[in-house]
């Protein structure tokens, strides 16, 4: 079972329709159906009740949906954490505005970025 299959499964669960899910995933309906059948075979149980117009989850499918949401969320968070820990968040911010009270708020926000280890280069100015 890989993260791609879990993402496919969650899309089917969310849409309630394999054809619609396949469209959202940009794959063919037969490919998605085959992937769902392989997932069911791997787990040794039915996950989906396929109707003419609607696909619903079996109790095992409901359990997998809960766990898959946790897994996919954790994988996404882990990717983000690892990428930001090795490269940090950095970039350039260009702000054009008149010297107003709002500029103080922007400066405070940028200062907070620096405290959080975010590397930002701020350039501000106006047309003058």
pLDDT in tens, 100-114: 666 677 777 767 766
Residues 52 and 101 both lie in one domain: no
Length of the chain in terms of residues written: 128
Domain count of the fold of the chain: 2
- Percentage of the chain surpassing pLDDT 90? 55
Which CATH number do you get for residue 14? 1.10.10.10
**Are residues 56 and 118 part of one domain?**
no
- Do 78 and 106 share a domain, yes or no? no
**88/119 Cα distance (integer angstroms):** 7
Stretch 56-77: mean pLDDT, rounded?
95
What pLDDT score does 4 carry? 93
d(CA 57, CA 4): 19
More confident residue, 24 or 95: 24
Q: Domain check: are 62 and 99 in the same one?
A: no
Q: Does residue 27 surpass a pLDDT of 60?
A: yes
Task: Print the domain residue range for 7.
Answer: 3-85
* Residue 22 pLDDT exceeds 70: yes
Planar angle of CA 83, 84, 86, nearest 5 degrees = 70
Angstrom distance (rounded) from CA 10 to CA 72: 9
Same structural domain for residues 25 and 7?
Answer: yes
Please tell me whether residues 71 and 104 are part of one structural domain. Answer: no
Backbone angles phi, psi at 107, to 5 degrees: -60, -40
Tell me, yes or no, if the pTM score tops 0.85: no
Which of 37-46, 69-78, 79-88 is predicted with the least confidence, judged by mean pLDDT?
Answer: 79-88
What does the mean pLDDT of the chain come to? 84
pLDDT, residue 119, reads 64
Residues 44 and 103 in one domain: no
pLDDT at 89: 61
Is the same domain home to 47 and 107?
A: no
């Amino acid at each position: 079972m890989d993260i791609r299959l879990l993402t496919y499964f969650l899309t089917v669960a969310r849409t309630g329709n394999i054809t619609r899910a396949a469209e959202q995933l940009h794959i063919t309906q037969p490919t998605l159906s085959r992937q769902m059948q392989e997932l069911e075979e791997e787990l040794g149980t039915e996950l989906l009740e396929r109707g003419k117009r609607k696909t619903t989850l079996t109790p095992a499918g409901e359990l997998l949906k809960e766990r898959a949401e946790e897994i996919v969320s954790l994988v996404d968070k882990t990717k983000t954490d690892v990428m930001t820990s090795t490269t940090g968040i950095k970039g350039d911010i260009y702000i054009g505005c008149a010297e107003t009270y709002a500029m103080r708020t922007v400066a405070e926000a940028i200062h907070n970025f620096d405290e959080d280890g975010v590397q930002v280069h701020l350039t501000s100015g106006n047309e003058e």
